[in-house]
Amino acid sequence: MTAAKASAKENEYDDIPGTFVFDADRSRRGYHLNMFCMSLMKADNRKAFKENEASYLDRFALTPEQREAILARNYNRMLELGGNIYFTAKLGATDGHSFQHIAAIMTGSTQEDYAKMMLAGGRSVEGNRSRSGRDAAAKSASRRAGAKSTAKTGGKSSLRPAAKLGKKAGSKRG
């Protein structure tokens, strides 16, 4: 077992099908993958990458799996291996693809079908809640509801938006 796997703990969100939450562990595992993607923000780096992709990747301490996923443009695998969607989108942009195009590839649909699905409200949660059959979403909602009820004071929730407190959202003034 590798050190990364040994340190990885199971989280409730790990049970959501097709979802790789970019948490601290995944961030650590994907550091070099994400630094590669960020390097593509510079025109000289994009040019060097396009001239010889495999050689350019030698600049980064990528795992063999990360390297393979990049060269294959397997975005879902990149996310699984620690890639951040906003960073990996820079690779897609380097290839001349829109974010919508990348998302369509990741969901196994055409760009047109992906756009229609999103305009219709997104993918149904039915059948997409849990790999193991547990309803993680319902458990999370129940836990959130419990947290809100314990935060109430004097019959009113203490979790009010800043505007209701007489403050501008994001304001540092008291």
Span 36-49, pLDDT tens digits: 999 999 999 999 99
Mean confidence (pLDDT) of the chain:
75
Rounded CA-CA distance 16/136 in Å is 8
Residue 157, SS3? strand
* 3-state class percentages of the chain: helix first, strand second, coil last, to nearest 5: 55, 0, 40
Residue 94, token pair as written in the block: 């380097």
Q: What percent of the chain has pLDDT over 90?
A: 36
Rounded CA-CA distance 151/157 in Å is 6
Rounded CA-CA distance 14/73 in Å is 23
What integer pLDDT is reported at residue 26 of this predicted model? 77
Average pLDDT, stretch 131-149?
55
pLDDT (tens digit per residue) in 49-64: 999 999 999 999 999 9
Task: Find, among 96, 44, 42, 45, the residue nearest to 73 by Cα.
Answer: 96
Q: Answer whether residue 6 shows pLDDT above 80.
A: no
Rounded CA-CA distance 123/117 in Å is 7
What integer pLDDT is reported at residue 161 of this predicted model? 40
CB distance 166 to 51 below 8 Å: no
Q: What percent of the chain has pLDDT over 70?
A: 57
Rounded CA-CA distance 33/53 in Å is 14
How far are the Cα atoms of 44, 48, 68, 107, 136 from residue 41, in angstroms, in the given order?
Answer: 9, 12, 21, 25, 37
Task: Identify the weakest region by mean pLDDT among 53-67, 71-85, 121-135.
Answer: 121-135
What integer pLDDT is reported at residue 95 of this predicted model? 95
65, β-bridge pairs? none
CB distance 66 to 57 below 8 Å: no
* Cα dihedral 10, 13, 16, 22 sign: negative
What integer pLDDT is reported at residue 118 of this predicted model? 86
